[in-house]
Amino acid sequence: MKWLPLAAAFVTSILLFPGCGGSSATVRMTQQAPVLRSVEITPEDLRFSFDGGKITLRVTVDSERAIHAVTAERSLLNTQKPETKLYPLVPVTGGANVYQTSVDVPANTRPDGQPVHYRLSVFATDVAGVQSDRVEREIRVAAPDASGLPSVPFNP
């Protein structure tokens, strides 16, 4: 019978102080995003003649979790009709966490004689769906020189 007052006091304390150890707490751990440790872009100067060219990307990624995908995104800037193309980077044989791809840079076919600008963006996504910060560069494709364009065919 001596334990009855003690049990009553214990139950009362649980009812009066529910936040003091009587309930479980939810702990949310932030998921660390992958980090693009090294981004090598060849050529370094992303200015192309009007006929475009090719860019090679080589990226080293650090991540606490396995990498699901490393992606390069080429987006046409300053246009009414957005054009975006995705390029998956593939793991390099013998390279720890190193991924590589080639990105096509189209020829400038603008009829107004202006240069074309693209945004090149690279990012990694891990298996938990957490995405790295993006590394972005601008690509410039020169305007076609009127003297270098083929003549318009004439059909009488």
CATH number at 72 reads 2.60.40.640
Question: pLDDT (tens digit, 9 = 90+) per residue, 109-127?
Answer: 888 889 999 999 999 999 9
Distances (CA, A) of 57 to 20, 111, 129, 147: 55, 30, 22, 33
pLDDT at 84 over 70: yes
- The percentage of residues in the chain with a pLDDT greater than 90, rounded to a whole number, is 60
Cα–Cα distance measured from residue 20 to residue 69, given in angstroms and rounded to the nearest whole number = 44
| Residue 119 falls inside a structural domain | yes
| Residue 13 falls inside a structural domain | no
Tokens coding 133: 């910060």
| Residue 108 falls inside a structural domain | yes
| Residue 122 falls inside a structural domain | yes
Phi and psi, residue 4, nearest 5°: -60, -50
Q: Which residue has the higher pLDDT, 137 or 78?
A: 137
Give the H/E segment covering residue 134: none
Q: What residue numbers bound the domain in which 44 lies?
A: 35-145
pLDDT at 44 over 70: yes
- The candidate with the shortest Cα–Cα distance to 144, out of 119, 117, 107, is 107
The answer to whether the beta carbons of residues 140 and 115 sit under 8 Å apart is: yes
